[in-house]
Amino acid sequence: MKPLASRRILTVIEGRIENQKVVEDLRSTAEARGWGFWQLSEINSDKLARFDLSDIPLDYVVFRDLSGNNYAESERLLYYLKRRGSIIMNGNPVGARAATSDKHFQQGLFLLNSFLKNYALPTFEAKNKANVISYIKGKRVHLPIVLKYRYGTAGKNITLIQTEEDLNKVKSFSNLLIEQYIEPECDYRVFVIGGKAVGLMRKKGDENHPEDFVSWSAGRHKFIEEDPDTIKLLNKIAVRAASVSGLDYTGVDIIREKKTSRLYLLETNFAAGWMNFIPVTKINLPDLILDWFEERINASSQKPDNMIK
């Protein structure tokens, strides 16, 4: 095997401990294909200010997430990477990292797109109890509603509000969104890489316990979707959502309403994990990510030695 210094090195920027399995999958895939590997994580503003980034291999970068959602530092690091000429997966998100993680901002983007607005699920800032009540009284939403964090993940910290009594139990509305409750038949995770939908998975809660809102929000049971028309439409929505969000790689979440079968676009995930997706679909996403880099290397005359330092 070539010495590390003479090989292409894939650097993954990932700060979430819960996503370490993703990092290890990328590491093993990169090394199996003859690449070196580096992980850049646990960066806060002080560390980034002190780092001598010239000592870190940054020619080929998967930009996923910094620890603690340091959005300003993400923007600064992206600026540096683009200036030096790195090949970056997810290097041009609309509104930078902070915006594409923000469910409220995302829905605004979707509503501005002529195609996606048909599938967008408008959201409103909660701010305080009085603000939530004003949206209900103004018929912008109706009970039941969902309160969720702007930057939440994996179905965590989502609250179903069915009555004013439920609303009274909420202690803080800071960073929460109001979202119209959609009774789910199921929801979908579609992965998009390089402008192409590469696979999707259908998710459901516990059908024996339809009242288990948390189970349905997290989609604890996973399946293969087999209907070709459904797959075609979901792929079209997901590819457009990735493009509107400016993402080379993303997991797009879409929900199907139980009564009407209408599809609603929930969000694009900047740092989407695949711990459940790969075992269900048998689609090797790390390999496809390495393919994305190698296609760009082969198509470009730019060499790492010529990059701007």
Q: Are 93 and 245 in contact (CB under 8 A)?
A: yes
Topology (CATH level 3) of domain 4-90+286-306:
Rossmann fold (3.40.50)
The pLDDT, as a whole number, for residue 77 is 82
**Least confident among 29-43, 81-95, 115-129, 294-308:** 294-308
Pairing of strands 60-65, 87-89: parallel
What are the extents of the domains in the chain?
A: 4-90+286-306, 92-121+182-269, 124-181
The pLDDT, as a whole number, for residue 121 is 87
The pLDDT, as a whole number, for residue 134 is 93
* pLDDT(129) > 70: yes
Two structure tokens written together for 235 = 């792929």
Architecture of domain 124-181: 2-Layer Sandwich (3.30)
> CB-based contacts of 206: which residues, under 8 Å, 6+ apart?
212, 215, 216, 220, 221
Give the pLDDT band of residue 79 (cuts 50, 70, 90).
confident
Q: Is the pTM of this model over 0.85?
A: yes
Q: Are 198 and 285 in contact (CB under 8 A)?
A: yes
* pLDDT(219) > 90: no
* pLDDT(246) > 90: yes
The pLDDT, as a whole number, for residue 13 is 87
The pLDDT, as a whole number, for residue 60 is 96
> CB-based contacts of 59: which residues, under 8 Å, 6+ apart?
8, 9, 11, 86, 87, 304, 307
d(CA 167, CA 217): 19
Q: What end-to-end distance do the CA atoms of the chain give, in Å?
A: 28
Domains 4-90+286-306 and 92-121+182-269 share a fold: no
* pLDDT(156) > 70: no
Give the pLDDT band of residue 204 (cuts 50, 70, 90).
confident
Helix axes 285-299, 20-32, angle to 10 degrees: 50
* pLDDT(90) > 90: yes
**Least confident among 43-47, 228-232, 237-241, 279-283:** 43-47
Q: Are 222 and 176 in contact (CB under 8 A)?
A: no
Pick the CATH number of 92-121+182-269 from 3.30.470.20, 1.10.3720.10, 3.40.50.1000, 3.20.20.70: 3.30.470.20
**Least confident among 92-106, 206-220, 264-278:** 206-220
- Number of other residues whose CB lies within 10 A of the CB of residue 108: 15
Which residue type, as a one-letter code, is found at position 1?
M
Residue range 79-83: mean pLDDT, rounded: 88
Q: Where on the phi/psi map is residue 240: left (φ > 0), alpha (ψ -120 to 50), or beta?
A: alpha
Q: How far, in whole angstroms, is CA 36 from its chain's centroid?
A: 26
d(CA 64, CA 280): 23
**Residue 156 or residue 62, greater confidence:** 62
* pLDDT(45) > 70: no
